[in-house]
Amino acid sequence: YGANLCFTPMIHSRLFQENERYRAKFLCDNTPPEDRPLIAQLCGPDPYILLKTAKEIAPFVDGIDLNCGCPQGIARRGLYGAFLLEEEDLLLSIVQTLVHHLPDTPVSVKVRLLPDVPIEKSIELYTKLVDCGASMLTIHGRTRHQTNYRTGPADWNAIRQ
């Protein structure tokens, strides 16, 4: 389709480690050249399981992305996706771990706006993510509460800031 950048579907790091069929499906080792550059989008709350998964996938992709945008209930139960944004210390630890141990692989983070706080709080967190070494942020201009019928328009003013 002529895309400049492609992302994988969200890859759950624990399932990647525990389930051989899941691993085979998402390893990215047969990606056609026209689907490059390709960023593997990972999720999970454990820095070391995320790192292990990232190290296995990194040789086949052009970057690793930490998905902090998924607002689904399963992400809440598993403490990943958009819910990880509200666990700042853990999130920053994950990004630092990935950046430190993957020196030749860009690490990015997909984020949403933090719910129920002024936009400045989101910007503070985004600045910390960049300070931890994130190469790129993808900002979804909605909070985790804005799903399904509550989606509404993206907050373009927040993204501009």
Q: Is 17 helix (H, G, I), strand (E, B) or coil?
A: helix
Which residues lie closer than 8 Å to 7 by C-beta, 6 or more apart?
Answer: 38, 39, 40, 41, 65
CA distance 69 to 37: 21
Beta bridge partners of 112: 140
Specify which residues 61 forms β-bridges with. none
Alpha-carbon gap, residue 91 to 108, rounded angstroms? 12
Q: List the one residue out of 22, 20, 3, 19 whose CA is nearest residue 11.
A: 22
The yes-or-no answer on residue 6 being catalytic is: no
**Candidates 28, 43, 68, 70; catalytic one:** 70
Contact assessment for residue 113 and residue 141, using Cβ atoms and an 8 Å cutoff: yes
Bridge partner list, 139: 111
Point out the residues that are catalytic.
70
